[in-house]
Amino acid sequence: MSIRRLPSPKQPTGLLAHLVASLSDTKRTRVKEILRSGLVHINGVSSTQHDAPVAPNDLVEIRKERAPVARSLPFDVLFEDDSIFVLNKPNGLLTVGNKHERKLTVESIVNQALAEQRQRCFIVQRLDLYTSGVLLLAKSELVQKKIKDNWGKSEKFYHALVEGTPDPDHADLTHFLSEDERLLVHASDSPDRGGVKASLSYQSLERREAHTLVRVKLKTGKKNQIRAQMSAIGHPIAGDAKYGATTNPISRLCLHASSLTLTHPTTNQRVTFTAPLPDGMEL
């Protein structure tokens, strides 16, 4: 059973009007369908009447049985409600399609699972092909827009296993990124060469023989940013031969999106989602 509790109205109103106001991310025709279906309850009693009275202290809920989409997905769903999915994206899976691959992507797999419910997902962010971890998807365009409008207030943390020992063990990095014809991103200290400004901070967590586990706070979200910036200071991410790594201790890129904090688009509460570190990277 899925139960969505709506906020009580500030003054007496009709049920349909209250639903339309509370479900601002849902089209009016869909709100009417929900009401007709008998899923809406006032103080525990089902109602389908548009003009059913709703008072400031009434409890209004939408109750429905649903088969979680998670059951039909080949990866872990960290969280799901009526507005968003939060997935633990595997290493080696594209977020969205490109000219080489359109079927085997997070977007296509989730949309195939949602097709039975006549729904689809909307991309909010992307992770590189070989980066694993927390990935957020919206369930409507309105939710997608609301999240993107507030994306600058979100907090994104990654864990990376880098070659060598960063010195100092914590620092703020700012570079200017430019991409060449080989799609390789270059990080320069000087803005004179052009490029977009990119910033992050890192903190060393654990020294491991030839590697160091670091926690990275992403302050801007640019293509290959962490990979290019860590390489620029002489500590490429293990497994990342493209950016100069010479070791590959766990047979994959050692970069993982470990947590995401943002304001929930519907409840307006601050929420944090975390994905466990992959084997070989865990503390």
Residues acting as catalytic residues: 128
* Whole-angstrom distance, CA of residue 248 vs CA of residue 231: 15
Write out the DSSP string of 110-139: HHHHHGGGT---EE-----TT-EEEEEEES
For 173, how many CA atoms within 13 A lie in the half-sphere containing its CB? Answer: 30
* Whole-angstrom distance, CA of residue 35 vs CA of residue 50: 8
Nearest to 251 by CA among 216, 278, 223: 278
* Whole-angstrom distance, CA of residue 37 vs CA of residue 53: 18
Burial (CB count <10 Å: 0-12, 13-18, 19+), residue 273:
buried
Give the amino acid at 68: P
Cα–Cα distances (Å) from 223 to 97, 131, 208, 231, 258, in that order, read 16, 12, 28, 14, 18
* Residue 207, token pair as written in the block: 């020294």
* Whole-angstrom distance, CA of residue 158 vs CA of residue 221: 12
* Whole-angstrom distance, CA of residue 39 vs CA of residue 45: 10
Place of tokens 């990935």: 135
Question: Are 178 and 194 a contacting pair, CB within 8 Å?
Answer: yes
Q: At 202, give phi and psi (nearest 5°).
A: -130, 155
